[in-house]
Structure 1
Amino acid sequence: MMLEAAGLTTGEETVYRLLVTMSAASADELAGPAGLSQGEAERVLTALAAKGLASGTDRSPQDRAPRSFAATPPDVALLPHLQRQSDSLEQARAAVTDLLETYRSTRRRRDPDQLIEVITGAEALRQHLRQIQDSTRHEMLWFCKAGHVAMPSGSNSAEFDALARGVRYRVLYEQAFFDDSGAVDNVVEGVRAGEMARAVPHLPLRLAVADRAIAIFPLVPGGPSGSSEEPTTALVRGSSLLDALVALFERYWEDAVPLHVSESGTVSGTDASAGGGVLPPTDRQLLSLLVAGVADKAIASQLGLSRRTVQRRIQSMMALAGATTRMQLAWQAARRGWM
């Protein structure tokens, strides 16, 4: 049955499909093709008429011919019903989501085991990471340290599936990560798939956060690739601890250097320490004038550059600092010691 969701029985769907192919038909004409008796066909037609899927033709009292029925156009008869069902289903889904959150919140307050779950072993960790990414709807946040505990670089196929369905990935890599074999190629593949990537000199821990609702991070150090020690990991749900982990990510993200992938597949920005290093003298002077409020035209005149070159250098520094406005560039430049 294809139209059960629209409220039709098997017999009603069969007769309605036949009616759609005819201009009009009586119960007697439909009974044979539908595999029904004439009486059954009449009952089905009456039911279709009651549901607004068919209408009987008018006839005079003297007309003794069997009453004919015509199909109501599907867009008129079925689509509004399906839309109402869809709306009701969406409302029910939202209500269930609210109830689930209330249930989890109540359980967390009464039972600490609902707040933090301990995961032991690399295989269990891999399964949890895959399941979490498969259920993520909006955003994944990652701290990627050098080496690996459960997922070798390039093995996280769940990320590409999530990116394809519109999930945003923000990934922070520590500088030593790029020393791993194949790491740069894997980052290039992720960035080209839509991943937003930045680099920092060092990260304090491994971390994955899904939709700001659940996080995974190691409880104790150790258990890297090649170690006989199994990793012990914590899975944390909505709590002050989770809020602190998200804030930690955002703090590191703010100071990180954006990674850019060229058409040839090279990555710039992996030397994260350069994000706080020394700019060329001309750019340092340009920044000082910009922060002082000097207009682009005057900066160009003082530095002996074209106005377009000044604007291009400012845009380049904004990209390096991860700034979207000149005010943010000035703030980041001060934090990074660029002036």
Structure 2
Amino acid sequence: MLEPVGLTAAEAEMYRLLIVAEAASAEEIASRSNLGVPAARRLLVALEDKGLASAVEDSPGWYSAIPPETALVPRLQRQSDALEQTRAAIHDLVETYRRSAQAWSGCDAIEIISGAAALRQHLRQLQDGARHEMLWFVKARYLAMPPESNQEEYDALNRGVLYRALYEQEYFDDPSAVDNVVAGVRVGEISRAVPRLPLRMAIADRSVAVLPLNSADAPGSPRSLTAALVRRSSVLDALVDLFEHYWEVGAPLRVTEEGGIGGAGPEDAASPAGEDRHLLSLMVAGMTDETIAGQLRVSKRTIQRRIQGLMNLAGVATRMQLGWHAARRDWL
């Protein structure tokens, strides 16, 4: 227990024995402990060298203990002073690092956030502070905040904040994904889906953005998670433009009366109708053919045949092109 003031465990035990004995020689200590005489003598000399024992006059080889308030309290105070100086030095290094990071990132435009808890707190504060609009890129596998725990979204929607969320198709591989999106849309979220998103981010009032820098597949603990807080700058302008580009090609997600993703919009002369429109909505939401077949209660082969028919109707060669075509023509 006295290691912080410079004593080994053996020296601390020797000091305790010497205090109890008031004065003792190596032979006396050896008789009261498991120590041999040479080891006891070395420890007594070490205590004398460290100012915790003094030789007894007129009694060669005997030592008495220096009182702890004289020997240890000043030593403890010096340790405390050194610790405080170290703490101040570390704080100075932290501030220097922050200033350097801010200078590197462009005059406070970018701040680095470390740890999942800090990222979660910033995402909550971002939404609490939003007054007009929230823009979201929602990728598969959350990093810091489970979608179902985002009460701040509902609070912001109740304040009249506009929420626009873009989901990548892989997001819907999670069994609870549809329920999360349906819950958001029902309270006012405007949602669209795209095949893939380049990153995950949240932007509040076009004035500040938070975007994680880690991949969801990257190894590491929650403490190793890092994110960027981006304030008004050319970088933020580029992020807003990126969102609007993906929003333009995203397929709208609507909620059916049964509480699923789908529903029909205004038809044009060459648009599909009925279940084919529902099928398209499920497809652009990223559901697999098996999942779509289960929802529509038909075989997987029937789903594949009907999707091929829709591709022929749209005059496209891939499902991705079919999704974009359906979004532009409001087939969903």
Task: State which structure, 1 or 2, has the greater radius of gyration over its C-alpha atoms.
Answer: 2
Considering Cα pairs closer than 8 Å and 6+ residues apart, tell me whether 1 or 2 has the greater RCO: 2
Instruction: Give TM-score scaled by structure 1 length.
Output: 0.49
Instruction: Give TM-score scaled by structure 2 length.
Output: 0.50
